[in-house]
Amino acid sequence: MLEICVDKFFGELNITSSRKRISEELFVKLRDGILSGALPSGFVFPNENDLCKKLDIGRSTLREAYASLEAMNLITRTKSGTSINEESDTRNLMNFDRIAHFTDPTNLFEYRSVLESGIADIAARRADSEDVRVLSEIVDRMEEHKGVFDKLAIFDFEFHQKLASITGNELLIIALSSVQASFEKFAFEGFKRNFYDQSVEDHRNIINAIREGDGVQANLRMGQHLMNIKAVIFKED
């Protein structure tokens, strides 16, 4: 039964990109197959020549896709063949930001909404005056670098990272840090799309809730901030 499911996966694996991007498309489809379980742990890929013939691709293209999968610790390549690693290896924190980078953007926003609204709530209940001062200084630096998108993205993450550190919960700190690259990517895109003024206002509103020690309002204002970002990112040009 498993063999039938795997055969079906490869039978439906159509590569449609131009030659320049074909290895990237193959990587994405194989990665998604592994993470979804369509290609199970322990599965050994067909012989390279046979698979290339089946997919009508060159060996260099297949090997480029394999290299990216191996970098994510999803597969192991040896002289005897290429196999999928155990689930405990493929779904680990070391891979999290790589997975977040390729996931549907909606998934990332849902993750951030659940995580960061909770972080803001706890931070408001635990912050002291020094924490509020540091948060305010970060937003001040954002105002000093208006129009410098890469700097703004870095300061944006620094603000959210500071909120996580205020909680004192190392699991929350790691959970946020695990998506730093994806976070800064979306922040950069948002600032390019004229999100700067709204972003500064949102951050000031969050700080006010933190200053007042109001976890409920901090949670709500963070949620609104993330909704504002989402509206900008998904706005049709």
**What tens digit of pLDDT does each residue of 39-94 get?**
888 999 999 999 998 888 889 999 999 998 888 788 999 988 999 988 766 666 55
- The whole-number pLDDT of residue 19 equals 52
pLDDT classification of 222: cutoffs 50, 70, 90: very high
The whole-angstrom separation of Cα 64 and Cα 208 is 50
Question: Among 62, 2, 76, which Cα is nearest to 30's?
Answer: 62
Question: Among 199, 195, 217, 226, which Cα is nearest to 120's?
Answer: 217
Query: In the chain, at which residue ranges do the beta strands (DSSP E only) sit?
Result: 75-78, 81-84
State the DSSP string of 155-214.
HHHHHHHHHHHHHT-HHHHHHHHTTHHHHHHHHHHHHHTT-HHHHHHHHHHHHHHHHTT-
- The whole-number pLDDT of residue 92 equals 61
**What tens digit of pLDDT does each residue of 90-108 get?**
666 556 766 776 678 888 8
Q: Is the separation of the CB atoms in 34 and 69 below 8 Å?
A: yes
* Whole-angstrom Cα Rg for the chain: 22
* pLDDT above 80: residue 210: yes
Here the tokens at position 122 are: 């706890």
The whole-angstrom separation of Cα 23 and Cα 69 is 11
**What tens digit of pLDDT does each residue of 3-21 get?**
445 556 666 666 655 554 7
**What tens digit of pLDDT does each residue of 106-159 get?**
888 999 999 999 999 999 999 999 999 999 999 999 999 999 999 999 999 999
* pLDDT above 80: residue 217: yes
pLDDT classification of 2: cutoffs 50, 70, 90: very low
- The whole-number pLDDT of residue 184 equals 87
Domains identified in the chain and CATH numbers: 2-90 (1.10.10.10), 96-233 (1.20.120.530)
- The whole-number pLDDT of residue 3 equals 47
- The whole-number pLDDT of residue 1 equals 40
